[in-house]
Structure formats: C-alpha cells, structure tokens
Amino acid sequence: MPRLSLRFAGFPVYPLAHIPARKQALIAAGVDVIDLGAGDADLPPPPRAVAALQAAAEVPAMQRYGFAMGHGPYRDAIAAWMQTRFGQPFDPRTEVVPLLGSKEGLAHVASAYLGPGDIAILPDPAYQAYIGGTLLSDATPYVYPLRPRTNFLVDVDEIPGDVLARTRVLYLNYPNNPTAAIAPRDYLERVVQVCRDRDILLVYDNAYSEMGFDGYVPPSIFEIDGAREVAIEFHSLSKTYNMTGWRCGWAVANPAIASALTRIKSFTDTGQYMGIQAAGVAAIESWAEFVPRNLAVFAERRDAAVAAFHASGFSCETPRATMYLWIPLPEGIPSAAFAERLREEQGVVVMPGSGFGAGGEGFFRVSFIQPGDRIAEAARRAGVVLAEMVKARDAMVAAGHP
C-alpha cells in the first residue's frame, strides 16, 4: 500500500467537500433541498459570454493549448478594466496572470514565497485556499481570529514582532468571505505600510470587489500608495458574472511577483481553455450593462434574507458587500452541529462557521443565492432547528450539565 506523506497526514478536509454528495442523497430521498451553502448563485452569466464560448468552440485555433500567455484579448480586457474600474494601469503582458479561477492562484502563489520555517498570516475564518497553499508549501500558518472586536479586520499591530519577523506572506480578503466585512481605506494603508516595512507579500483576494451595496464601492489594494511594491491582487469572474463553474479569474501584480506565480503555474497547468478566456473578454466587456442589474437582484435577496432570518429568531447585520450573511449563534450551540441538523433534518444547506477555521465558531454563513421566497423558507426551517437546539441546551443547563 503506498504510504501517504507526513504533510498529507496533517492536511485538513475541505469544508465543502462532502456537501454535493449529501445534497444528492437528500434529493434522491425526496427532500426539498434549499442550498445556501457555497457562494454559487443560481443566476445566469452574461449572454454575451455564453455566445462567445459557443463561437469559440467552432474555431480550430481556440482548441489548442493556451499556455501561460493564454488568449491575448483576455489580458487586454483585464488591463483595460483595471484601468477603468480602479484607475490602475497594468501591462497586459507582464503584470496580468490569467488563472483557472482565483482559487488556484491564491494557493499556488504561496509556494513561490513560502517554505519551511516561514510564516503566512491568515485570517480565521477564511477562504480555505489560503491555508491550503500555506500547508502545501510546508510553511507555518499564523491564524488571526476575525471577531466583532476588530470589525473582522486582521489588526496587524496586534501580531507579535517575532511572528512578523518570520512572516513572508499575509493573506487578506475584503470584502470578506465569510464575514462580509469591509475594510476602511486607512486600514489598508496601514497594512501596506507594514508589508513594505517587513518585505511581506500581501496577497489581496478581491473576488467580491463588484459586490458592494448601498453605494459602497470596494477599492483595489493598488489604490493604496506603495502597494505595487508588495501586493498581488486576485479577481474572479465567478461572483461578478455568475460564472463559478467556468473557473476563470486573474491576478495583477508588478512583473517580478506576476512572473513568480506564472512560473509556478507553468508546472501545474497549461492555461485555461481559450474559449473560456474569450467568454471572459465578453463578460468583462459587458460589466457596465450586466453588473448593476445583477447586483440589484443580490441586494433584493440580501434584504429578504436579513428580514427572514430576523423573523426566525436570529440576529445579524445587513452586509454592505458580498453574497453572505454571517449569523451569530447563541452561546453553546456549535456551528457544525447546527449546520448538520439543519441539512439532515430540514434539507437546508448552510456553512458552519467552523468550516472556515476555528475562529468562525459561533457563527454560520448563509449565501443569498436563491430567490427571496426560498431564502425565507430556509430561514423558517433554520428557526425550527435553532429553537430545538436552544431548548435542549437549556434543559442540559437546568439539569446541571454545563
């Protein structure tokens, strides 16, 4: 029997990994499943993107390897959009890295900058690609708990000096998954300053940059002076254009950082299908007409979700960005047990906070990715499970069990 590596033995199980199989089994058993788990909307991509993919499928040259260079117009569209949207110029050939979704880039970039003995600072809870990349690089994660006390920000000034001295990479993600927090500009300035002072690579996951509500427009990290020296920023078509399954994203950074990621990737993939990159061009070019309308649907769903979960006995804030509610659970109700009961007894899929790291305990995440009436029904069922669990907890306490 081949022996697994020591590294693998300590490798966590991806929190969403078991959900599709459980969902399928529940549906096969006749359960009316409402899936508010992954950030994976039921809405369609831009029609121009679909048409571009269909057209590309007929073009022989598009069926060949993309390699790292990929489809030139995709690089050009990315650079043009970064300029229009954030006022930030990038050289399409040397400062743009096409990705098979931002996730692989977020994980792969770690191995260019981390090795044994190095530290990566990770928010906790967080998108699990960050810890995945860190552990695969044999580096040490330093997890910083995201709690209401710091408005779910990683306060870099609280990190001990001996940790900062060994830190090579800091992962940040605002608007934040899963907490839906946003970062003020002076906070981002402080982070960039610390990274410059300490030569730390700032890996800035900006997958939710186009999901700001109520007039909030999330910035690029490159709007902060000095960020060009230390940052790499990741973007994705997944959330902005309802194209999760297409696996298409990009990173932007100065040529040295961009080429380091490209070099790592040249050993692990040979580029996204160029037909999908052509669809990416069409999606990006439809930004002005598509994104505001799509966002209006999410805003409606957000409001429906907040109202429904409040009505079912939960308290949560109205997020100003992302597609998530980050909902606190009462003391003594473990998030994994709550999510499991909600799924298995009521057919509602949500993400337990602990699935994003120990720092997420005490919360669960709802993705507002379905119509308001379905979210309302999910909230009603969640209220049933919550009431039962609170009752059971109170009975235990009354019986003298902690």
Q: Which residues bind ligand MLT (CB under 6 A)?
A: 16, 38-39, 103, 127, 177
Q: Note whether 351 and 16 are within 8 A (CB).
A: yes
Residue 208 or 314: the one with the smaller Cβ distance to ligand MLT is: 208
DSSP symbol at 324: E
Do strands 119-124 and 231-236 pair parallel, antiparallel, or not at all (unpaired)?
unpaired
Task: Assess contact for 81 and 284: CB atoms under 8 A.
Answer: yes
Q: How far apart are CA 243 and CA 57, in angstroms?
A: 18
The CB-nearest residue to ligand MLT is 39
Q: How far is the CB of 141 from ligand MLT (least distance, A)?
A: 18
Q: In the complex with ligand MLT, which residue's Cβ is closer, 180 or 386? A: 180
Token digits of residue 323: 């597609």
Nearest CA-CA partner of 177 in 323, 328, 50, 74: 323
39 or 360, CB closer to ligand MLT? Answer: 39
- In whole angstroms, how close is the CB of 387 to ligand MLT at the nearest point? 27
Q: How far is the CB of 352 from ligand MLT (least distance, A)?
A: 12
Angle at 339 between CA 316 and CA 352, to 5 degrees: 65
State the nearest-atom distance from the C-beta of 267 to ligand MLT, in Å. Answer: 22
Q: Which residue has the tokens 């870099």?
A: 156
Q: Which residues pair with 170 in a beta bridge?
A: 121, 202
Minimum CB distance to ligand MLT, residue 38 (Å): 4
Question: Judged by CB, which is closer to ligand MLT: 39, or 141?
Answer: 39
Q: Which is nearer to ligand MLT, 308 or 323 (CB)?
A: 323
Measure Cα distances from 78 to 90, 193, 253 in Å.
9, 27, 12
> Of 274 and 325, which CB lies nearer to ligand MLT in the complex structure?
325
Q: How far is CA 380 from CA 125, 175, 310, 312, 385, in A?
A: 26, 28, 10, 6, 9
For residue 172, the surrounding DSSP H or E stretch is: strand 167-172
Q: Which is nearer to ligand MLT, 12 or 115 (CB)?
A: 12
Residues, the chain:
402
Closer of 127 and 234 to ligand MLT (Cβ): 127
CB of 237 to ligand MLT, least distance (A): 12
Minimum CB separation of residue 171 from ligand MLT in Å reads 14
Min dist. Cβ of residue 295 to ligand MLT (A): 17
The smaller minimum CB distance to ligand MLT, of residues 31 and 38, is found at 38
Query: Tokens 């690029």 — which residue?
Result: 220
- Could you give the CA distance from residue 130 to residue 359 in angstroms, rounded to a whole number? 15
Give the containing element (helix H, strand E) for 236. strand 231-236
Q: How far is the CB of 127 from ligand MLT (least distance, A)?
A: 6
SS3 category, 235? strand
